[in-house]
Amino acid sequence: MKNGALITTSGLVKQYPVGRGHFTALRDIDLIIERGEFTGLVGPSGSGKTTLLNIIGALDFPTSGSAVVLGTDTTKLTHKTAARLRTEHIGFIFQTYNLLPVYTVFENVELPLLLLGMDQGRRKQAVMDSLEWVGLTDKAKSRPAQLSGGESQRVAVARAMVKRPGLVLADEPTANLDVENSHNILKMMVKLNKELETTFLFATHDQKVIDYVRRKITLIDGKVAEDIQTTPKSQ
């Protein structure tokens, strides 16, 4: 499936200052991720998966090199334009769901649309559509504390998908879920990827996730050790 490059990184390097020296989290990363891919960044802890995901998501900036996401060079963004890129085009799914505890499920999913400035009528429809995708319309008025882990992550998926972003970045999305819930979430993501052609990029070392991805990029010590197309074992 070659739909055009959605993400292109060239010579990407990320270093963190440590004492008088520095720690290199990413070394010379060159990647092209096409539109509609379902890709996993895999590797052990500390291999640079989350750092790469944060740079692609314009949450962090590289030390050198470039990362072009949806035609925008994220290294040249200001905080404001980076925020706009995230608002309009990128959805995030976190390991710990990161739902706002004082908001209801509906309000959590509605938040990205409020930031987009969408009018109330369209917003309500979009939120309900999104909750329907994840099968949680009956929990719209619940608060996160009243949900199970699986339900919370489904809300997080709905929140990431509600604005129909071109790219969804998921950082260890199944780390806090049991096997059954992990499979449910991943099946739902595969369905959204196929139906909406949303590009999914995972940072994970969970074999369950790896079994679903169609491309596996292995990072070891901040370098791409392997980049292969795979046949998903679970779909």
Interacting residue ranges for another protein, rule: CB under 8 A? 54, 57, 59-60, 79-80, 83-88, 90, 92, 94, 96, 98, 100-103, 107, 111-112, 114-117, 143, 159
Q: Give the nearer residue to another protein in terms of CB position, either 102 or 225.
A: 102
Cα–Cα distances (Å) from 120 to 51, 123, 161, 169, in that order, read: 36, 5, 18, 27
How near is the Cβ of 79 to another protein at its closest, in Å?
A: 6
Q: Give the nearer residue to another protein in terms of CB position, either 159 or 214.
A: 159
Q: Give the nearer residue to another protein in terms of CB position, either 95 or 199.
A: 95
How near is the Cβ of 95 to another protein at its closest, in Å?
A: 10
Q: Give the nearer residue to another protein in terms of CB position, either 83 or 220.
A: 83
How near is the Cβ of 2 to another protein at its closest, in Å?
A: 29
Q: Give the nearer residue to another protein in terms of CB position, either 58 or 210.
A: 58
